[in-house]
């Protein structure tokens, strides 16, 4: 039986964290740094995404995010397929060095 092609999914973490006090800012920065260290890339200040190999990979990273949640705030995780991610449109603003307007598929091994 031939090996199935790996299915990649994108995991988004979207959050709204309080930053009114010094300790809240510290917690928010710790959470952002955790996301970057876990392979997430920042799409917007409170929107991070990473590619995962299949549902199991996404579940693993959701568990990691859950273990590192700050004490306050609203945090959501969203999974989309690689194909759906490729259909995302940048509507406003200028492209950064890490963005492109073409629909190139990204594969990380």
What are the domain boundaries of the chain? 8-86
Compute the average pLDDT of residues 84-97: 82
Q: What is the mean pLDDT of the chain?
A: 87
Enter the pTM of the model: 0.79
Compute the average pLDDT of residues 85-100: 78
What's the chain's length in residues? 109
Pick the CATH number of 8-86 from 3.40.50.970, 3.40.50.2300, 3.30.1490.120, 3.30.70.240: 3.30.70.240
Which strand (E) or helix (H) includes residue 87? none
Compute the average pLDDT of residues 88-105: 68
Compute the average pLDDT of residues 42-50: 95
Which strand (E) or helix (H) includes residue 26? helix 22-37
């Amino acid at each position: 039986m031939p090996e199935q092609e790996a299915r990649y999914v994108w995991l988004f973490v979207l959050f709204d964290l309080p930053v009114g006090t010094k300790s809240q800012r510290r917690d928010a920065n710790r959470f952002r740094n955790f996301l970057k260290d876990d392979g997430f890339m920042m799409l917007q200040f409170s929107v991070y995404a990473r590619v995962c190999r299949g549902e199991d990979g996404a579940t693993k990273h959701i568990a990691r995010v859950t273990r590192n949640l700050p004490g306050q705030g609203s945090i959501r995780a969203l999974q989309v397929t690689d194909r759906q991610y490729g259909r995302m449109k940048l509507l406003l603003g200028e492209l950064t060095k890490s963005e492109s307007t073409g629909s190139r598929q990204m594969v990380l091994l």
